[in-house]
Structure formats: C-alpha cells, structure tokens
C-alpha cells in the first residue's frame, strides 16, 4: 500500500437500500455519530478495498472518499436520487 492509497471497509445499511458506510478501520464504528448509526442500522460488511486516486468507484469520487476517511474515519454514500423522466408530449 502506497502513501496515496488507503484500505477501507465498506458496509451496507440493512434499512436503506444503496446506503453504504466506508470505514478507515474494520469495525471502526466508534467514529460514527450515534444518530447516524441508529438510522443506518446494524452495518453489514460488503467488501474490503484498497482505495487510490487511480481507482474508480461506481458512484463516489474516490478522492473525496479518501479525504473523508483520513479526516473523520468514515464516508457515507447516500442512495442515488431518482429523477423520473416525465413525458410531456410532443414539444414542437
């Protein structure tokens, strides 16, 4: 692991679909605010990753995730905002 890379553990919420917690330490929940952990539910480990600026994440900016892990010990990934495409008929 280089100085720019960082190991992290990703947990999913059993209560909110597509909500994830990235942690700088395995089972390092002591850095998570109690209110957030109460809403998140009992975290379920999904994967351990090595993050680096070169790694692509599906829905998060990896540099932001790394910065949050280094500064506060965790990063919260919220579910995507669904924006339905509404059909407005022909627009000539």
Q: Is residue 50 part of a domain?
A: yes
Q: Is residue 24 part of a domain?
A: yes
**Contact assessment for residue 63 and residue 5, using Cβ atoms and an 8 Å cutoff:** no
Q: Is residue 28 part of a domain?
A: yes
Look up residue 31 and give its two tokens.
């850095």
Q: Is residue 62 part of a domain?
A: yes
Q: Is residue 18 part of a domain?
A: yes
The domain of 38 spans 6-77
For 1-30, the pLDDT digits (tens) are: 556 789 999 999 999 999 999 999 999 999
Q: What angle do CA 23, 80, 34 make, to 5 degrees?
A: 40
For 42-64, the pLDDT digits (tens) are: 999 999 999 999 999 989 999 99
Residue 61 sits in a domain whose CATH number is 3.10.510.20
Predicted TM-score (pTM) of the model is: 0.82
Q: Is residue 89 part of a domain?
A: no
């Amino acid at each position: 692991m280089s100085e720019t890379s960082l190991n992290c553990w990703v947990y999913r919420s059993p209560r909110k679909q597509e909500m994830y917690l990235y942690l700088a330490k395995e089972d390092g929940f002591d850095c998570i605010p109690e209110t957030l952990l109460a809403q998140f539910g009992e975290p379920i480990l999904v994967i351990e990753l090595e993050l680096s600026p070169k790694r692509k994440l599906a829905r998060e900016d990896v540099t932001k995730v790394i910065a949050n892990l280094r500064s506060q010990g965790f990063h919260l990934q919220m579910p995507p905002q669904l924006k339905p495409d509404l059909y407005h008929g022909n627009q000539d």
